[in-house]
């Protein structure tokens, strides 16, 4: 597609359930990022993938959070045993290289009840 695509756009789940969020980056972009945005806040870095290099997981808040990127394209962010404080918008971005110019998707609004 023309832009970064994320699904679902909204996800409501119960505390303790696992959720998977999907990101389709722009075709040809080698770098992929996940950020989290709480209501009225800035963007919090979670994880970064670049080509075949080991991902930078330094931003993941706990071991309940993990992410994969298959075939250098689609990425899935998994949150296990969700907590209410996980409620936020999860944004995915991709970039052509490591320059830092990111293109964002519209995000997944996660609500944990």
Left if phi > 0, otherwise alpha if psi is -120 to 50, otherwise beta: which for 54?
beta
CB of 49 to another protein, least distance (A): 10
Q: Which residues bind another protein (CB under 8 A)?
A: 4, 33, 35, 41-45, 48, 50, 56, 59, 91, 93, 98-107
Contacts of 58 (CB under 8 A, 6+ apart): 45
- Residue 43 or residue 74: which is nearer to another protein going by CB? 43
Q: Locate the DSSP E strands across the chain.
A: 5-7, 10-13, 19-24, 31-37, 43-50, 65-69, 75-79, 88-95, 103-104, 108-112
CB of 105 to another protein, least distance (A): 5
Structure token pair of residue 61: 């808040």
- Residue 41 or residue 83: which is nearer to another protein going by CB? 41
CB of 68 to another protein, least distance (A): 18
- Residue 18 or residue 97: which is nearer to another protein going by CB? 97
């Amino acid at each position: 597609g023309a832009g970064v695509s994320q699904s679902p756009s909204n996800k409501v789940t119960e505390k303790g359930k696992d959720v998977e969020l999907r990101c389709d980056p722009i075709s040809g972009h080698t770098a992929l990022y996940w950020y989290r945005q709480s209501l009225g806040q800035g963007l919090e870095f979670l994880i970064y993938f670049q080509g075949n290099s080991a991902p930078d997981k330094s931003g993941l808040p706990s071991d309940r959070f993990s992410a994969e990127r298959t075939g250098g394209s689609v990425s899935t962010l998994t949150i296990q045993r969700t907590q209410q404080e996980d409620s936020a918008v999860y944004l995915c971005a991709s970039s052509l290289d490591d320059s830092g110019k990111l293109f964002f998707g519209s995000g997944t609004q996660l609500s944990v009840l």
